[in-house]
Amino acid sequence: MLIIDIIKKIRYNTTADRIGPDIPFTHWKLFYKKQMLSLCKKKFRFFSATADFRPGAYAIGCSQITIGERVVIRPATMLFGESVSLETSIVIEDDVMMGCGVHIYINNHRFDRLDIPLIDQGYYPDEAVILKKGCWIGANAILLPGVTIGENSVVGAGSVVTKSIPDGVVAAGIPAKVIKKIGQ
Ligand SMILES: CC(C)(COP(=O)(O)OP(=O)(O)OC[C@H]1O[C@@H](n2cnc3c(N)ncnc32)[C@H](O)[C@@H]1OP(=O)(O)O)[C@@H](O)C(=O)NCCC(=O)NCCS
């Protein structure tokens, strides 16, 4: 019985559309650059040759996530990109910087009704999250479904981004608001 469970676990681990510490049979590869690149190129919709996915980070629905040049996905980050409707659910363009512990979500549970449990109500439609070229997302920021972070914009640490942020600004807080325009 135990043997069957172990075989099932290995099969799930090697085929799952996800990467993370909860998938130990592939997670170890993230400690070695060549292995990391070959795993990520296989799993993600697009994974640049100059990107890095560090041990301790999670991605769910890898086949719907694209990661551009020189992007580093750091420990405790959660890219929750599994979508029933979008081909590409999370886009991280070239030269995006992200601190540790950034969380990105592309959908919400439905909560329209009181007569059935929330867990049985399904989801609202998925909405893609896009990080435009050269933006910087501070540590532990949370990006909610449908937001775009503008080119070269900065999101402060610990912010909760509920609406899209334009190009070239600094936004921070809960909810994140523009606090300054860069270069002015
Ligand atoms: C946003 C950030 C870059 C600072 O930008 P800044 O332009 O120098 O901003 P300032 O320090 O002048 O702060 C401007 C205002 O925004 C507020 N603010 C700054 N960062 C904030 C944050 N993360 N959340 C909420 N408010 C913030 C300040 O308190 C200040 O408010 P006040 O005007 O009422 O006093 C910085 O605070 C930050 O969050 N850095 C992220 C660090 C990080 O995650 N590093 C990981 C390395 S990848």
Q: What is the DSSP letter of 117?
A: -
Buried residues in 49-73 as b, exposed as e (16+ CB within 10 A): eebbbebbbbbbbbbbbbbbeebbb
| Residue 10 banded pLDDT, cuts 50, 70, 90 | confident
| Residue 184 banded pLDDT, cuts 50, 70, 90 | confident
Q: In the prediction, which pLDDT does 61 show?
A: 98
Please check the confidence at residue 123 and state whether its pLDDT lies above 90: yes
99 CA closest ligand 1 atom index: 48
Given ligand 1 and candidates 74, 165, 179, which is best to mutate, with the most ligand atoms within 8 Å of its CB? 179
Between the CA of 170 and the centroid of ligand 1 the distance, in Å, is: 8
Q: In the prediction, which pLDDT does 11 show?
A: 86
Please check the confidence at residue 1 and state whether its pLDDT lies above 90: no
- Which tens digit of pLDDT belongs to each residue from 12-60? 888 899 999 999 999 999 999 999 999 999 999 999 999 999 999 999 9
Tokens of 83: 């979508």
